[in-house]
Amino acid sequence: MRLLVALMIGLPMIATELQVDHVTVAGRDLRAMRRAFEAAGLKDEYGGPHANHATEMALASFPDGSYLELIAIQPKADPAAVSANQWHRCLETEGVPCGWAVRPLDLAGETARLRAAGLRVTSAAKSGRRRPDGVVLEWETAQVGSGNGNFFPFLIHDLTPRDRRAYPSGKPTISDYRGIARVVLGVNDLEAAIAQYERAYGLARPHRQDDPDLGAKLAWFTGTPVILAAPAGPQSWIAERLRRLGETPCAFILERAQPGAAAKSASNWFGRQISWLAPEALGWRLGVE
């Protein structure tokens, strides 16, 4: 399907490997994060503890197959495992965007291609978790660059049926939004970040735009979910976040299933109206286009 879509709309084939599998928000208390999610009018379901002895998760899933993962420190976690977790700084917060993953058609082939482009990619490592209903999920992941889906998305491939991972109850938890449309990456140097994505994915030059209200300089690669956001000044919220957490996703944007009126707080990004969904409840930025 991705091959057919790419041919129809003229995208570089490599860009089709940037299909969002899931995005992650991490914090210290999963129950508090789920309450905030509910207050924002969003429904999730508990997914169970990971096999890493550090984290547990809940997820909000969408009709397009993508999902948003809420991840936090599991009860009776191994302190050493928590400290060793690559998202440990985010796990010390009330909840912030921290990573994202893509699902390549061929994990081994995409690993080889990225390495040939000069990127560091780890060997695939197996992981998994047990759902509350006892169903065991297994997958393998490969990290691209430094971190865990912080700048470049990590790669994931399911060893058990993917629907069991994305839809624990057998269907999406949310139908008002089609899925995750954009991943907004906070970066220190916009030009350097653009060059890295162009090299990694063979992308054409991005569209650019400033958002004075957000205090950000933006770059979007057509046909991909990737928006790079660099601080417009040292006092912007993105600059502060970069100092605290480094280069990671700083916002996610959902696609509305049905057209709706833009909120008063809407921004116009690259010809699309972006409204920010209940920031006072969530404590982090989740947009809707």
Structural domains of the chain ordered from first start = 2-166 (3.10.180.10), 177-288 (3.10.180.10)
Examine the pLDDT at 11 and tell me if it is beyond 80: no
CA distance between the termini of the chain: 24
279 against 238, higher pLDDT: 238
Give the span between the Cα atoms of 172 and 174, in whole angstroms.
5
pLDDT at residue 33 tops 80: yes
**Pairing, β 207-211 against β 136-142:** unpaired
* Residue 57 β-bridge partners: 48, 71
Q: Which residue has the higher pLDDT, 47 or 147?
A: 47
pLDDT tens per residue, range 162-182 = 999 999 999 999 999 999 999
User: What proportions of the chain, in percent to the nearest 5, are helix, strand and coil?
Assistant: 25, 35, 40
DSSP 75: T
Express each pLDDT in 212-270 by its tens digit. Answer: 988 999 999 999 999 999 999 999 999 999 999 999 999 999 999 887 654 555 789 99
User: In this structure, what token pair is assigned to residue 111?
Assistant: 């690993």
More confident residue, 280 or 205: 205
Handedness of CA 95, 96, 99, 100 (dihedral sign): positive
| Cβ density class 102-124: b for 16+ within 10 Å, e for less | bbbeebeebbebbeeeeeebeeb
